[in-house]
């Protein structure tokens, strides 16, 4: 087999107002996994888009096996044996697995009709290679996110691409699914393919990659051999400074107060018999695998999903919210996991997004007071150092971390008077530096007497940020640990306990 290689040669790319890539050059070898790391805005996604032919560089070129390429379209890139698997899956949800895998290359019979038998058997072959329990005829839209991701990978495999790039593939996956994914990626590696791997998760990078390329602000900062580096060095290269031990430097709240929220035997369509207590100034973690029912518990408390039975007490008084607006009026705030779909109105300004829950309180007579609203928004911008020229900027134009801060700003304004703040995966897709900021914010909220519920699938952050940790598995609470007694092993055991 020919030795495969991919080389980026002095890639420069500007967008109006930003120089996204300032001359990136590096080489990735076949049979090795090359991790691309960097904070949000470092240029990883832009680089992948250039590789996939989605956008064109202003200068520079790609070399595949030494041969120069200029991709003008995704079509050309695919033809040159490149597959880029994006975070947003590029599948047709209404079609079957086999139709998606063979999307642009379906086996056609003499009359021009698609040969379904062949399509099915070819797909089954691929499914068997990967050992996946799905059928070629399953509709992709009905599969779990993880399997959709697998379909995407099988598409790349079917094309027999020599260069495969993954953009944060594990973000939607559970631990078990990640194991399957990694074994797939390793198979591809053994076949001598060039693999690029983008991820924010440190542990993963050390588990799977051979080389690490670190980008910062559009430039290449460092190329490292995974076996010869450590997390500290890597973070330092990414952030450009030593951020020290994020967790050790946290200034926590040490005064936990009275019971704020009490949930007894809560049952909904998605969770069974859930009971717990949240105190003033407490950071209560919810750990567990994806799909364990953590989000669903919160949605029920918040009035977003109907409750079948059980009791909820807020400051001792029984409550049952029929809609989120009632929950908000009682001082409960929810920052959903899917910021873009459920958290923000992307088309509107920072100001508009911050003032939503308190519109009635920014009225002057009949009309809204733009000035009051603006002051509120600017307060949030200053307090959380949101990077933006003004509060009028569309939220769409902010980075993920700054978007998260806008939501936090919404719920922690003076007018809101939040008692309970529910954070669902607040650091998902956020870079290391901002993550540390978010942790400190969480502790600050607790110091103000807010009860914080912190849902996260990243074990280290739950273990280090929360005062107490509740673990869920399969719709139930399987245990509760204090920070002192919790360890990764214990939490994992509970998270998988039957």
Partner 1 sequence: MEKSNRLKKILASKEFSLFILLVIVVAFYGVASPNGSFLKTRNIRSILDSMTIYTLFAVGGGLVIISGKIDLSPSYVGAVCGVLLAKLLDQGLPWYLVVPICLAVGAAFGLLNAVLINEFNIQSFIATLTTGTFIAQGLVYLIPAGVTYQIKDPVVIWYSTGKIFGFIPITMVISILIIVIFGIVLAKTKFGRSVYLIGGNANAARLAGLKPKKLSYIIFAYSGALGALAGMLYAGRLKSGSLVGTVSYGFPAVTAAILGGISLGGGTGNMLGCFLGLLIINSFNNGLMLMGLKPYWQTVASGVLLLIALTIDYFSTRERKIKLTGSI
Q: Binding to partner 1 by residue 417, rule CB under 8 A?
A: no
Indicate whether 347 belongs to the interface with partner 1 (CB under 8 A): yes
Specify the DSSP element, H or E, that contains 19: strand 18-29
Piece of the chain touching partner 1 by CB under 8 A; list 17-25, 124-132, 177-185, 471-479? 17-25
How many Å apart are CA 280 and CA 265, to the nearest integer?
Answer: 21
Choose which of 249, 356, 448, 488 interacts with partner 1 (CB under 8 A): 356
Tokens of 348: 């509107």
List of residues 6+ apart from 138 with CB closer than 8 A = 96, 97
CB of 260 to partner 1, least distance (A): 19
430/451 Cα distance (integer angstroms): 23
Task: Report how far residue 421's alpha carbon sits from residue 235's, in angstroms, rounded to the nearest whole number.
Answer: 29
Residues 323-342 that bind partner 1 (CB under 8 A): 323-325, 327-329, 334, 336, 341-342
Sign of CA dihedral 322, 325, 331, 334: positive
Stretch that binds partner 1, among 72-80, 141-149, 359-367, 465-473 (CB under 8 A): 359-367
Interface with partner 1 includes 371 (CB under 8 A)?
Answer: no
Using CB under 8 A as the binding rule, whether residue 344 contacts partner 1 is answered as: yes
Phi, psi of 215 (to 5 degrees): -110, 150
Residue 237 C-beta: closest distance to partner 1, Å: 21
SS3 293: coil
Does 113 engage in binding with partner 1 (CB under 8 A)?
A: no
User: Residue 295's closest CA among 341, 344, 335, 343?
Assistant: 335
Contact flag: residue 366 with partner 1 (CB under 8 A) = yes
Please work out the total of residues on this chain that contact partner 1, with binding judged by CB under 8 A. 43
The binding track of 33-62 with respect to partner 1, each residue x by CB under 8 A or -, is: -------xx---xx--x-----x-------
Contact flag: residue 396 with partner 1 (CB under 8 A): yes
3 state DSSP class of 66: coil
Residue 419 binding partner 1, by CB under 8 A: no
Q: How far apart are CA 51 and CA 47, in angstroms?
A: 6
* Burial status of residue 183 (CB atoms within 10 A of its CB: 0-12, 13-18, 19 or more): exposed
Contact criterion met (CB below 8 Å) for 22 and 218: yes
* Closest to partner 1 by CB, 126 or 430: 430
Q: Which of 171, 304, 443, 480 binds partner 1 (CB under 8 A)?
A: 304
Instruction: Enumerate binding residues for partner 1 (CB under 8 A).
Output: 14-18, 20, 40-41, 45-46, 49, 55, 302, 304, 323-325, 327-329, 334, 336, 341-348, 352, 356-357, 359-360, 363, 366-368, 396-397, 399, 410
């Amino acid at each position: 087999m020919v030795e495969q290689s991919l080389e980026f040669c002095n890639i420069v790319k500007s967008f109006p107002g930003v120089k996204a890539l300032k001359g990136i050059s590096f080489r990735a070898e076949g049979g090795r996994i090359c991790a691309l790391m960097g904070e949000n805005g470092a240029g990883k996604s832009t680089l992948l888009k250039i590789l996939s032919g989605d956008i064109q560089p202003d200068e520079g070129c790609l070399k595949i096996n030494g041969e120069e390429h200029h991709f003008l379209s995704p079509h050309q890139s695919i033809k040159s044996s490149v597959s880029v698997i994006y975070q947003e899956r590029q599948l047709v949800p209404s079609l079957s697995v086999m139709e998606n895998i063979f999307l642009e290359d379906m086996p056609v019979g003499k009359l021009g009709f698609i040969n379904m038998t062949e399509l099915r058997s070819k797909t089954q072959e691929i499914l068997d290679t990967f050992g996946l329990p799905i059928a070629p005829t399953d509709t992709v839209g009905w599969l779990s996110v993880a399997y959709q991701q697998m379909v995407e990978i099988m598409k790349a495999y079917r094309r027999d691409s020599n260069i495969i790039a993954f953009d944060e593939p594990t973000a939607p996956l559970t631990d078990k699914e990640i194991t399957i994914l990694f074994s797939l990626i390793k198979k591809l590696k053994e076949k001598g393919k060039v693999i690029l791997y983008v991820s924010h998760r440190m542990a993963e990078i050390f588990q799977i990659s051979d080389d690490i390329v670190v980008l910062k602000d559009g430039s290449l900062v460092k190329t490292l051999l995974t076996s010869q580096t450590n997390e500290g060095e890597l973070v330092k290269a990414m952030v450009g400074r030593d951020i020290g031990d994020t967790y050790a430097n946290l200034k926590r709240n040490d005064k936990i107060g009275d019971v704020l929220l009490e949930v007894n035997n809560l049952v909904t369509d998605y969770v069974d018999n859930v009971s717990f207590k949240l105190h003033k100034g407490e950071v209560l973690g919810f750990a567990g695998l994806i799909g364990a029912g953590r989000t669903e518990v919160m949605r029920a408390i918040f009035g977003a999903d109907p409750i079948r039975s059980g009791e909820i007490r807020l400051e001792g008084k029984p409550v049952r919210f029929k809609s989120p607006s009632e929950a908000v009026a009682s001082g409960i705030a929810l920052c959903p996991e899917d910021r873009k779909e459920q958290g923000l109105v992307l088309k509107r300004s920072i100001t508009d997004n911050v003032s939503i829950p308190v519109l009635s309180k920014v009225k002057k007579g009949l009309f809204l007071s733009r000035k009051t609203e603006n002051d509120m928004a600017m307060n949030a911008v200053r307090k959380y150092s949101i990077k933006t020229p003004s509060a009028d900027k569309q939220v769409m134009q902010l980075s993920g971390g700054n978007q998260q801060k806008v939501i936090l700003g919404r719920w922690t304004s003076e007018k809101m008077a939040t008692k309970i703040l529910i954070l669902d995966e607040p650091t998902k897709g956020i870079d290391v530096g901002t993550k540390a900021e978010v942790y400190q914010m969480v502790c600050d909220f607790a110091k103000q007497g807010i009860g914080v519920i912190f849902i996260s699938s990243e074990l280290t952050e739950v273990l280090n940020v929360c005062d107490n940790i509740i673990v869920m598995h399969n719709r139930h609470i399987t245990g509760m640990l204090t920070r002192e007694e919790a360890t990764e092993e214990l939490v994992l055991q509970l998270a998988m306990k039957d």
